[in-house]
Homo-oligomer: A and B are copies of this chain.
Amino acid sequence: MRGCKSPDIDFLIIGAGIIGLSTAYHIKSMSPGSRVVIVEKNPGPGMGDTSRSAAMFRVFFSSKTNMILAKSSVEYFEHVEKNIGWDLGIKYLGYLFLVDSKELENMKPALDEAERLGGSYRIIDRDSLKNQGFNVDVSTDPEASLMGLPDIEAGIYIPRAGTLDPDSLVRYYEHAFKALGGEILYNTEVKRIVLGPKNPLGIPGEPFAWQDIEAKGVETSSGYIEARSIVVAAGAYTRELLEPIGIDPIVNPKKRQIFVIRANTKGLTDLLNTKGYNAYNVLPFTILPRGVYIKPEIGEKSFWVGLSDNLGRPYGLEELKAEESFYRYSIHPVLTKYLPQFSQAYPDAMWAGYYDINPIDGQPVIFMIGNIEVVAGTSGSGIMKADAIGRIASALALGYDEVELYGGIRIRSDMFGLVRRYIDPEKLIL
């Protein structure tokens, strides 16, 4: 392949989100002689769903697969901060998961499993939660009771978890990729992947169904670009790019929303400044019953609040507009029952993005069909697993059977395939 003159792009990566950047960087560093080019419709890196994420991470899973992906990626990010000196804004806020008595019991085996895999947690009792301002006994409230909201029995606190700055992270990969000679074409939208015959005969109308078919390049808003291999790391747009050429990538986007609430009352300020959990003396990333989550934003003195709704929330691309009514009717009623401090709190800002969901097991898909690689389905945990995913995708694209993740663990590069998946299911979906 090295001796061949045309086309001169070896790997064309679609998407400069965190997954595309990590994959491109690792391909370029595993194969420095290859010409690697990213095409991205936005004017800069990580401007799609990467930037719309709550950007949380945790090194606490009951699934070995998840643990490996998250642990090796987070350790790499720490290495980038400490040894390379690139500030990624990593903050160990911790996760605080509030559960009722039934859920606590149901979760026990998964918590034990996570501990065996090296994760740690501690139980926060009801009294401590009460002192921190949580209303743990909601069932005395007739409205909460009618809503079917359970009393909180305990908090599960996970210290090895937190947030980072997605913009810093994508800038790091962009910088590292470019430093190796990688190229990025911004403002370049891929309209379609172009197929052709592996062995062209020069007959009009090729490729025919009896020919071996492969990708030849991409048609973009700036013209046609030829390439030897194409890596689709387009997140929510993966399905839209692949269905027309006859590939079903399994993954499907679903709209997710984040609402910003200013801590502009004493109650909310006190809640934000909850002590005892982390070095910042702020509330951890908190998940209430029914999945409503609250992320403290220290600098902004605000909370990001969200809820990943499932049945009833359509799959597919749609208008990316946050719905204030969703906050008002689906989040606020739950939020205020457990945290009455929010009773007068309405969003100051809000936005919508997509989760790129693998509806089967919530794990990424990383597979090749001929010279087309698909890296997708990060299902809302793409940032925290990005480095490992990039290494696996890179190894698979370069034809290696195995790959070494940061920290030294070696895994099969085909373990996230479509047909055969070597993964164990996650029981701790927080």
Q: How many identical chains are in the complex?
A: 2
Give the distance in Å from the alpha carbon of A128 to the alpha carbon of B141 in the complex.
84
Pick from B210, B211, B243, B307: contact of A209, CB below 8 A.
Answer: B307
- For chain A, what secondary structure do more than half of its interface residues adopt (helix, strand, loop), or is it mixed? loop
Give the distance in Å from the alpha carbon of A290 to the alpha carbon of B331 in the complex.
55
The answer to whether A316 and B360 touch (CB under 8 A), given A252-B248, A330-B208, A330-B209, is no
Contacts of A314 in B (CB 8 A): 243-246
* A313 on the B face (CB < 8 A): yes
The reply to whether B243 and A360 form a contact with Cβ atoms under 8 Å apart is: no
Count of chain A residues near B, Cβ 8 A: 53
* A312 on the B face (CB < 8 A): yes
- What 0/1 readout, one digit per residue, does chain A (240-259) give for beta carbons within 8 Å of chain B? 00011111101010100000
**Closest residue to A310 on the B side, CB-wise?**
B246
Closest-CB distance, A358 to chain B (whole angstroms): 9
The reply to whether B252 and A315 form a contact with Cβ atoms under 8 Å apart is: no
* A227 on the B face (CB < 8 A): no
The reply to whether B209 and A331 form a contact with Cβ atoms under 8 Å apart is: yes
The reply to whether B312 and A146 form a contact with Cβ atoms under 8 Å apart is: no
Give the distance in Å from the alpha carbon of A425 to the alpha carbon of B146 in the complex.
48
Interface 9-mer from A52-60, A163-171, A199-207, A264-272 = A199-207
Give the distance in Å from the alpha carbon of A244 to the alpha carbon of B315 in the complex.
6
Give the distance in Å from the alpha carbon of A263 to the alpha carbon of B353 in the complex.
58
Give the distance in Å from the alpha carbon of A334 to the alpha carbon of B211 in the complex.
10
Interface centre among A292, A309, A312 (most CB of B within 10 A): A312
Interface centre among A208, A244, A250, A309 (most CB of B within 10 A): A208
The reply to whether A357 and B311 form a contact with Cβ atoms under 8 Å apart is: no
Contacts of A199 in B (CB 8 A): 148
Contacts of A246 in B (CB 8 A): 254, 309-315
The reply to whether A329 and B252 form a contact with Cβ atoms under 8 Å apart is: no
The 3 A-B residue pairs with the shortest CB-CB distance, nearest first, are: A209-B330, A248-B359, A209-B309
